[in-house]
């Protein structure tokens, strides 16, 4: 199979999966009650004028499969429904909140790799020593921690004991947010040239992204360690060693490069964890991203928002899986043949 066919097949699968997810969210919003109006409008459903408007807009008097068709076409036009609790279209609320979550995710991924890769290398280099066991204990604790434990733990240590970092929010009180251009606060403050706002925003990102990274870096460490140890036992390493290549060159230049390939396959686990973790981390650190929005939507029984957020998370995961698959096929041509 050549590369183009491979990508097209993956793309087709991604579209199919997303269609499947829309079927789930569509079904769920129709299961809320016999009358989907209640789900979408809440108490406002008793207003006959509004109800009539909704029946007309969402074709609620048509058969289900027709409604599903309109639902999909609405989604494609960016219509994710209306959030009564936010008082604005769901798409608007997502545009406001998603950049905050992406900011956290970006730094969380940097930290995950920044912690996970060196520790994986260390524990493979000092395989079966105290260093290896120490690192294993550290990452096991991270992986086993429920989503909120690390966030609370960091708060107690870094904020309430050492007073190093702010307890939450996206900016310190009194710091005016930058003029929204991209909706990414960090980028916007740079565009405006407000360095102090940029730094303040950055400081507020440290704990949420660290709390996420500490829970997930262990997967990187574990896979990298195992993969390095595998590679070190291959013939080409043995040959290189026999030819007199020194151990450090052998380890860092020959082994590490090839051992990094399987780490790409973790993209799906990492992104899934980050997406789930934002719910808890953003709620704990009062960070105004999608996670906090989801938790608010949950407590206000705002179904349109919940379904749209579920869908948005699925889109993020499917897209990152697609990118990881393609990346993997680029670095490891064998995959394309399967």
The dihedrals phi and psi of 198, each to the nearest 5 degrees, come to -60, -50
In whole angstroms, what is the distance from residue 324 CA to residue 176 CA? 38
- Under a CB-based contact definition with an 8 Å cutoff, are residues 237 and 255 in contact? yes
The distance of closest approach from Cβ of residue 158 to other proteins in the complex, given in angstroms and rounded to an integer, is: 12
Draw the binding track, 31-70, toward other proteins (x: CB under 8 A; -: no contact). Answer: xx--------------------------------------
Q: Is 23 helix (H, G, I), strand (E, B) or coil?
A: helix
290-299 and 303-331 helices, crossing angle to 10°: 150
Rounded to a whole number of angstroms, the minimum distance from the CB of residue 163 to other proteins is 12
Distance in angstroms (rounded) separating the CA atoms of residues 231 and 216: 24
The answer to whether residues 334 and 281 touch, using CB atoms and an 8 Å cutoff, is no
Return the SS3 of 283.
Answer: helix
Closer residue to other proteins in complex, CB, 179/286: 286
DSSP 175: -
- Of 54-62, 88-96, 99-107, 155-163, the segment contacting other proteins by CB under 8 A is 155-163
User: Does position 72 bind other proteins by CB under 8 A?
Assistant: no
Q: Which is nearer to other proteins, 115 or 155 (CB)?
A: 155
Nearer to other proteins, 28 or 250 (CB): 28
Burial of 230 (0-12, 13-18, 19+ CB in 10 A): middle
Q: Is 226 in the site for other proteins (CB under 8 A)?
A: no
Residues 269-328 that bind other proteins (CB under 8 A): 272-273, 275-276, 279-280, 284, 294-295, 298-299, 301, 303, 306-307, 309-310, 313-314, 317-318, 321
Task: Give the residues lining the site for other proteins (CB under 8 A).
Answer: 13, 16-18, 20-21, 23-25, 28, 31-32, 140-141, 143-149, 152-153, 155-156, 160, 272-273, 275-276, 279-280, 284, 294-295, 298-299, 301, 303, 306-307, 309-310, 313-314, 317-318, 321
């Amino acid at each position: 199979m050549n590369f183009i066919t491979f990508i097209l097949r993956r793309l087709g699968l991604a579209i199919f999966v997303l269609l499947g997810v829309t079927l789930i969210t569509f079904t769920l919003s129709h299961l809320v009650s016999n009358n989907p109006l209640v789900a979408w409008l809440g108490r406002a459903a008793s207003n006959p004028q509004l109800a009539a408007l909704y029946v007309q807009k969402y074709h609620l008097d048509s058969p289900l499969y027709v409604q599903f068709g309109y639902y999909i076409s609405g989604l494609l036009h960016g219509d994710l429904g209306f959030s009564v609790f936010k008082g604005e279209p769901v798409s608007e609320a997502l545009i406001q909140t998603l950049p905050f979550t992406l900011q956290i995710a970006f730094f969380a991924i940097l930290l995950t790799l920044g912690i996970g890769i060196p520790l994986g290398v260390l524990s493979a280099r000092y395989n079966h020593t105290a260093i290896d066991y120490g690192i294993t204990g550290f990452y096991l604790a991270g992986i086993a921690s429920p989503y909120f434990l690390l966030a609370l733990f960091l708060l107690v240590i870094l904020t309430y004991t050492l007073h190093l970092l702010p307890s939450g929010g996206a900016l310190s009180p009194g710091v005016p947010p930058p003029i929204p251009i991209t909706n990414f606060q960090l980028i916007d403050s740079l565009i405006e040239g407000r360095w102090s706002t940029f730094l303040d925003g950055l400081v507020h990102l440290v704990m949420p992204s660290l709390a996420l990274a500490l829970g997930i870096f262990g997967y990187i460490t574990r896979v990298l360690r195992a993969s390095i140890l595998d590679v070190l036992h291959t013939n080409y390493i043995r040959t290189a060693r026999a030819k007199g290549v020194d151990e450090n060159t052998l380890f860092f230049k020959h082994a590490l490069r090839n051992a990094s390939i399987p780490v790409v396959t973790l993209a799906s686990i990492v992104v899934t964890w980050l997406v789930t973790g934002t719910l808890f981390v953003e709620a704990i650190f009062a960070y105004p991203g999608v996670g906090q929005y989801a938790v608010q939507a949950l407590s206000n029984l705002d179904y349109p928002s919940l379904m749209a957020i579920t869908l948005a998370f699925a889109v993020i995961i499917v897209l990152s899986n697609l990118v990881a698959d393609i990346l993997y096929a680029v670095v490891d041509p064998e995959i394309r043949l399967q």
